[in-house]
Chain A
């Protein structure tokens, strides 16, 4: 700020900012890497004036004018943080990553975040990517706090996660009651398609929300898991179409195609139908997203380059908002009747179709409709902690339903109807958000999920996404992802090597597989995934235990 500067309501000091860049003059070598790498130009070279007042030594007569005092000015250069909210540091710490001397690092403010009051310039409410900015308490979130307490100590043959064989696959698709199945088999009637898949699914992240390198890396990793390691892992495309080559390859069978309210890329998928070698694994109809319930997808124009445009089947450089709802579907009945059946028709009723909704207190209404519809292949529910590439902050932080109780309610309702083995439930939204992927997934499975979906976790684990619920980075929406995960700028996305992402995907799934076995083995389960095995679960929170109908332990 100038010496004669004035302040405006938006004038902030570094102290007001959430992320404060600490710079060490002693160690800095002024190499310029930090300012070159900063995604948001939060730092710049500053010219600083250093004043030395030189007082003469005290002589016999005291301070003497003979040796006159003087001023000495020196100039030095340093890294300065900008305080304009438009250039506020996002805490990604790329500066620290590239600094040869470790002389720079962003630290989170120890004070209330004043920036929050100012990220609305021009009346534009804050939008961002990431998850709900609500770090869980030190003891963890509900999923983290669920313990697996039913250990088979001599009561059952104890299993060894390493040496025993485990059936960890789950089913995606409508499973009819045996008598019904047999009847249809005899009568050569239509039996809904069912897929045997791995219970950890890479959830919907669109081509566009993710960079081309990230998307290819995830797909490559999934194909590797299937073809080299025999793990039937599936990945959902998200809304935004599917690259033409993938549609025409055998790898399509590992892919769940998503159709959402914007229908982006679907004409390209339809055109590819005659040339498909394989059916896709399934079709997911997106009705909602946990991170931003009530909002459609939003891809800003600057991310819609030639590539995205080609895959989505749209012109370049236009913003691509999706409506919050499917515009011609006004009720659950209609959505089920029209949408699910129509999507079945695309592949001759060979591909399971299921809806995905955001976590909501009305989930049971949806589920009850699905139970009456033989076409419904499952229900995916995305809880409030799900991530997104772009959403209004208020939607992310305050909208949505926690996944645990939502999933549990749905499962118990199915139990009441006796249909818990007929309609698989898939849970997502913050699974593994504190790094406890297998434990969270196992908890959800034992609460009643047939499988779990992950998104943000795989970005963090497979590509080094630095975003966090402490409001770190979270700039996926502006295309400046410093790791190249969500950017469409080749200068950024070429930082990411698809092969390395694929390797990490494999690491994650292998590790998850081991950890899941480490959980189910002591419970004495090896022949099937312990879906709904809630007698194994407990939590040290009485109310949570009551709500989830699991044991309370202290």
Chain B
């Protein structure tokens, strides 16, 4: 084109530099006036050549002579072609929207920053941050930046599209045509480059093989570029496919999986390699260390269920001084083995009917778990009464050990019976004319049918053939007994009434004497009776006095009376009045005078404040304590050959005496066999382990023993209900039959997760959940 055709605009007027604003206004005016070829003489003016839209689609050519300022061709339009005849300042083609810009020299920092369309051809090197934040709008062709030399630092930062070509010709840094840290944050576009580089952001970009299409594009456009910058002769030198490389942005999907070594690989290839097989602790831990599930089975369970059948005593048995396993009797009944249930008691007491059925306050029922829920315990007295039919079991042959039992009351008969069951010969000495002690002689007939007592005494007599009645023993006899027998058991009871040293005490009638006489119907009472001592014996005396005709009966005590149960109820039913605290001062013809001066009128005054044993016959080797025989926990006195049980040791219930007899007999058996005495009491099952929610809380009385048996919760003993097997979420529990006919519930460790549901659901409290064995 002829130079004369250019419309010239100078940045200097009258020797003064025009402001960039004025120069811009003049360029725009020229375009508006129809000029399409402009030559601008720049003196550092900003933004030359951009925004020339007033020319419409007509091409506009802007030639820049002199040093332009920043942002040549910024916001350039597609109709515009700009040629800078020397080097350019910063930000050439900033926000370029289509202009073609040629720089015949180096371009400074920020070349092509934010360019979206158009082309920038640089015939030299560019500064820092070239081709940054460029983008490709799909409506248009991608923008292009061509650089003959090299790029400065931070090239292609945040590049989001477009194509950059770095030819590496006469590069400013021949060792590194891409500058320091290129492609950081690059998300789109391509970079063709020729020459060495010193790395790029691996996270954002990757090298891609040059395809034939890529190469074709490059070759085609390289010609155009070289023509534009006026160096077509370089084509052959630059069109060397081997030296070109292509960088592309990584896709978001690629970026997510950054190429670093997996921890698994690090573990195996680095960690274990340096530390040795098994890692940090391979030398100290030998076992499996693989990951375990949170819910584990087998040895990895933290807790394991244990079927603790019969490990603990049922509360009824525990409460019974005689130690009868009441729950076992109910179990036998549930199993339809009523005879066995009846006979079972004889193993523990010679008086299953007399005591359990009539005389005992039934401590088993008081201890029953059901009471914890205010539920009525199964009525053992029904089963007790049925026990009159109990049959003597077959007795073992005698061992040769002989034991003298002094006293044929409940304690003595219990010990003799138990000794015989263990195979020892027991010989009973009693000073009365028949056996039974207080049961036979003192307890009112109203409380117990005499035929029941007689039947049970007779039953025992069949087992104990040697009974010497009406034998009042003295010290010399004892010496002889010690010589004749291996052991002696003293069970003489109490016979010496305790009296109080007050005037008129000779008028007092001892309660035991009175009861003994009343039982024979030979006792005499007046209309008014005062009984000193309102315990259960006093109550019996009151009841009997009423039976014998007394009208006004008063029981006094120094404290709130300790009487309870049937005795108390009977006395109250007889109209007896209870008074306390009352302290006796004298017994007179009028009655009982109290320390207050009050006289309670009485024809008969009975004293019932306890009795002492008569122990004059005992040798000195047997120590006493406050009038009673001193024994250790196996009922052995201070003379190892002599044992003592019953009231002569400590006043108590009949069941206490029977239980003591049983334990003493067991101790004697162990000692005779040279064994250590088995005296440890089995622990009672914890009430909280038994689940009463299965039972009807509104059941107040039992129609028969079958119903009793059904309502027994069988504490501590499996009742074979199958609930555990069903409640187990893992179906780990099954019932296993043993060859001896017994069964057990078994939990399969390979299925069980140790949840404890079996323990939670077991009505009997048999299942327990315990910590598993520690693992190393």
Contact = CB atoms under 8 A, between A and B. Distances in A.
Interface of A: 2-5, 30-37, 41, 44-49, 71, 73, 75, 77, 94, 97-98, 162-163, 165, 212-213, 215-216, 219-221, 223-224, 227-229, 243-246, 249-251, 305-307, 310-311, 489-492, 494-500, 502-503, 506
Contacts of B261: 224, 228
28 contacts: A2-B372, A2-B373, A3-B372, A4-B371, A4-B373, A5-B372, A30-B727, A30-B757, A32-B728, A32-B755, A36-B295, A47-B761, A94-B294, A163-B185, A212-B280, A216-B280, A223-B270, A228-B260, A229-B260, A244-B283, A491-B292, A491-B296, A494-B289, A494-B292, A494-B300, A495-B291, A498-B279, A502-B263
B142 to A, nearest CB: 23
Interface stretch (B20-28, B536-544, B559-567, B694-702): B694-702
B275 A311 contact: no
A36 B693 contact: no
Nearest to B371: A4
A228 B280 contact: no
B480 interface: no
Interface string B761-774: 10100000000101
Nearest to B757: A45
A32 B284 contact: no
B691 to A, nearest CB: 4
Contact of B776 (A4, A37, A305): A305
Given A30-B757, A35-B757, 18 more contacts: A3-B372, A3-B374, A30-B727, A32-B729, A49-B694, A77-B727, A216-B281, A220-B280, A223-B271, A224-B266, A227-B266, A227-B270, A245-B282, A251-B275, A310-B284, A490-B289, A495-B291, A495-B292
Contact of A36 (B158, B274, B287, B754): B754
A2 B296 CA distance: 34
B285 interface: yes
B756 A36 contact: yes
Given A4-B372, A32-B730, A491-B292, A245 B276 contact: yes
B661 to A, nearest CB: 33
A277 B232 CA distance: 63
Interface string B79-92: 00000000000000
Contact of A220 (B185, B267, B296, B691): B267
B694 A220 contact: no
B253 interface: no
A98 B293 CA distance: 11
B687 interface: yes
B290 A494 contact: yes
B526 interface: no
Given A3-B374, A306-B776, A45 B756 contact: yes
A49 to B, nearest CB: 4
B593 interface: no
B40 interface: no
A235 to B, nearest CB: 12
B256 to A, nearest CB: 14
Contacts of B727: 30, 45, 77
Given A3-B372, A162-B184, A216-B281, A35 B275 contact: no
Contacts of A37: 294-295
Contacts of B290: 494
Given A2-B687, A31-B729, A77-B727, A163 B184 contact: yes
B283 A46 contact: no
Contact of B284 (A75, A77, A249, A311): A311
Contacts of B328: none
B327 interface: no
A228 B266 contact: yes
B285 A245 contact: no
Interface string B723-764: 000011110000000000000000000000111110111010
B264 interface: yes
Interface string B564-599: 000000000000000000000000000000000000
B647 interface: no
A491 B302 contact: yes
Given A162-B184, A227-B270, A97 B294 contact: yes
A267 B300 CA distance: 34
Contacts of B77: none
Contacts of A47: 691, 693-694, 760-761, 763
Interface residues of B, number: 66
A223 B776 CA distance: 28
Contacts of A500: 263
Contact of A163 (B158, B279, B293): B158
Interface in B236-255: none
B697 A49 contact: yes
Given A163-B158, A491-B775, A75 B693 contact: yes
Interface in B178-194: 181, 184-185
A506 B754 contact: no
Contact of A45 (B154, B292, B761, B775): B761
Contacts of B157: 163
- The CB with the most chain B CB atoms within 10 A, among A46, A216, A500, is that of A216
A514 B303 CA distance: 45
B46 interface: no
Contacts of A73: 696
A249 B275 contact: yes
Contacts of B154: 163
B271 to A, nearest CB: 5
B467 to A, nearest CB: 46
A531 to B, nearest CB: 26
Contacts of B374: 3-4
- The CB with the most chain B CB atoms within 10 A, among A73, A215, A221, A500, is that of A73
Nearest to A80: B760
Contacts of B760: 35, 44-47, 77
B51 interface: no
A75 to B, nearest CB: 6
A510 to B, nearest CB: 10
B301 interface: yes
Nearest to A500: B263
Nearest to B758: A45
A220 B260 CA distance: 15
B63 to A, nearest CB: 35
- The CB with the most chain B CB atoms within 10 A, among A35, A41, A246, is that of A35
Contacts of A229: 260
A495 to B, nearest CB: 6
B285 A307 contact: yes
B756 A44 contact: yes
Contacts of A499: 263-264, 267
Interface in B693-720: 693-694, 696-698
Given A48-B693, A224-B263, A506-B263, A245 B281 contact: yes
